[in-house]
Structure 1
Amino acid sequence: MGQTLVVVTALSLAGCSAVQENPRAAKGTVIGAATGAGAGAAIGAIVGGGKGAGKGAAIGAVVGALGGGTIGHYMDRQAREMEQVLSEQDRMRREQERLHVVMASDVMFESGKAYLQPGARDKLRRFADVLNRYPRTNVEIIGHTDSRGSDESNYDLSERRARAVADELAAAGVVPSRMAVRGEGESRPLATNDTTEGRAQNRRVEINVDPDRGLRAEESGQPGGYEEPR
C-alpha cells in the first residue's frame, strides 16, 4: 500500500511531460520528456527496489504525455497497462490524444498468410483485456505489407490481416462497433523495401486508440459522468 501511494504521488508530480515512443521502440522523438522520465525513474526505483529506474524513466516519458484532464488521465492509465502487454518487437507512442501501437507482422502471421500465430492470439487477447477496461475509446486497425507482390494482392493481404486482428479482439470481448478496419497494402512504407530489414519494418499492423465522442465532450466541459476504470 505504501508503494502504491508513493507511485501515485510521483505520477502526480509528472504534470505535463512528453510525447515519445515507448521503450520498445528503437528510435523516437522526444518533446519535453524530462519531467515524465524523472517521474518514471522514481517509479521504477520504487517498484523494482532501485533496479527499475531505467525502464521506469522510459515508461514515464510515454505515460505522462498529456498531463491532467479527463482524457489525459484516462489515456495515460491505458498506456501503462498496454505497455505490460506489448512484446519487444512492438512499439507504442503518443500522438496528442491518440495511442499509436505498431505490431510487427512477422511475429503475428506466416509469410503471405492472414492466420494469426498462437503467440499473437494470446497477446491480442491480453491487449483486448486492456481495451475492455477502457471502453471509452475507439480502435482503428490498419494492415500494411512490403512491396513484394502485386498492389492488389498486397491490399487484400493487409486488409485480411487487419480483419484477423479485429476478429480476435472481438472474440475477446471488444465491442465490434468500437473498431474500424482497413488495409493500406504497400502504400505507406516506414523504411526502404530494398533491404530485408526495411521490408520487415513495413510488414506491420497498426492500432490507433482514440478517445470516443463522449470522453471528448467531457473534456470540453459537457456533462458525462466519467468514472475511472477499476
Structure 2
Amino acid sequence: MKTMKPRIFAILASAILLSSCNVYKNANKRERGAAIGVAGGAVAGGVVGRLTGNTALGAIIGAAVGGGAGYIIGKKMDKQAEDIKTQVPDAKVERVEEGIVVEFSSKVLFGFDQSNLTDASRKTLNNLITILNKYPQTNLEVQGHTDNTGSESYNMTLSVKRASTVADYLKANGIDASRLTIKGFGEDAPKYDNNTEQGRMQNRRVEFLITANQQMKAEANQEAKQQGN
C-alpha cells in the first residue's frame, strides 16, 4: 500500500492543480513549476494535453522538472525564444512553461501538398539552425500537422513526411540527431478552425518543441539547490 501512495498523490495533485485550465493559466511561473514538481511532469503533461487538446503544451509539460530548477530553465528559455523571434521572422514563437514552441505555417516551408523544402524555406531553417546551435543543451521534437481536407491516412503520411524532411535537413546541417524526435499528427491535433480557409491554412503547419536536455536539467537542479530552492 505504501508503494502506491506516491503515485496516487501525484495523480490527485495533478487533477486538482491542473484540471482547471483557468486556474493553471492564471498561475505564475513559480506556482506552475511547483504544481508540476508535485504532480510529476509526465502526469501533468498528460492531463493538460488532454484537457486543452494542445499536443505542444502537453509534451513540454511532460518533459518539465518543475520547482526551482524549472524556474531556472524557464529563464534560459526566455533568452532563446527572444533570439528566435529576432532571427527567424517567419516563425511564430511561443514560450510555454519550461520550453518553446516554434510554429511554421506549411506555406513557409513547403509548396501546396508537397513535402520538399523550397529554397526560401532552407534559408529560414538555416536561421533557426544558427540559434539552435547557440543553445545545444536542448532537445527538439519536430511535429507535422495538416488540416482535415483529404483522407486521414493521406494526411498522416504527409505530416510525417514533412516532419521527417525538416528533421533530416537539420541533421544534415549540424544539429545532432540525438537531439531530435519526429512525430506526425495528421489532422488529429488542429489548433485552428478547420471550418474556414484561413484556419485550414494555419493547421497545415510544422512545429518545433524545444525543451531542456538532461545536462541542462542537471545544471538547473544544482543551481536551484545552491540557491536553496
Q: TM-score, normalised by structure 2?
A: 0.65
1:72/1:188 Cα in 2 relative to 1: closer, same or farther (>3 Å)? closer
Partner of 1:168: 169
2:142 and 2:163 in contact (8 A); partners too: yes
Partner residue in 2 for 1:94: 95
Aligned partner letter, 1:217: A
Tell whether the 8 Å contact from 2:80 to 2:131 is kept in structure 1 after alignment: yes
Q: Which residues in structure 2 correspond to 1:61-100 (within 5 Å)?
A: 70-88=72-90, 90-100=91-101
- Residues 1:85 and 1:216: Cα distance change in structure 2 (over 3 Å): same
Structure number having the greater helix percentage: 2
Letter in 1 for 2:164: R
Alpha-carbon distance in structure 1 between the residues aligned to 2:151 and 2:89: 30
**Residues 1:108 and 2:109 aligned together:** yes
Partner residue, 1:19: none
The Cα of 1:86 is off from its aligned counterpart by 2.4
One-letter identity of the residue aligned with 1:128: I
RMSD: 2.6
- Which residue is equivalent to 1:25? none
| Aligned residue pair count | 162
1:87 is displaced (CA, Å) by 2.6
CA deviation profile, 1:151-198 (whole Å, cap 9, x unmatched): 111001001101111111112201011000011000011122221111
The C-alpha deviation readout for 1:4-42, integer Å capped at 9, x for no partner, is: xxxxxxxxxxxxxxxxxxxxxxxxx89779xxxxxxxxx
- Where does residue 22 of structure 1 map in the other structure? none
Structure 1 distance, partners of 2:120, 2:191, is 24
Which amino acid in 2 is paired with 1:114? S
Offset of 1:222 from its aligned partner?
A: 7.5
Q: Distance in 2 between matches of 1:76 and 1:189?
A: 26
In 1, Cα distance between the equivalents of 2:28 and 2:92? 20
User: Partners in 1 of 2:171 and 2:26 — Cα distance?
Assistant: 34
Partners of 2:88 and 2:127 within 8 A in 1:
no
Q: Read off the aligned partner of 1:86 and give its amino acid letter.
A: V
In structure 1, distance between residues paired with 2:116 and 2:168: 11
- Aligned mates of 2:99, 2:172 — CA distance in 1: 24
Q: Is the 8 A contact 1:129 1:172 kept in 2?
A: no
Kept after mapping to 2: 8 A contact 1:125/1:168: no
CA–CA distance in structure 2, aligned partners of residues 126 and 75 of structure 1: 18
TM-score normalised by the chain length of structure 1: 0.64
Uncovered stretches (5+) of structure 1, i.e. residues with no partner? 1-28, 34-65, 224-230
Identity rate, percent: 36
Would you say the 8 A contact 1:70–1:215 is kept in 2? no
Question: What amino acid does structure 2 have at the position aligned with 1:95?
Answer: V
The one-letter amino acid paired with 2:202 is Q
Deviations 1:58-110 (A, max 9, x none): xxxxxxxx9x964234322211211122235x311111111111110012111
2:74 and 2:99 in contact (8 A); partners too: no
**1: CA distance between counterparts of 2:170 and 2:80?**
16
Partner of 2:119: 118
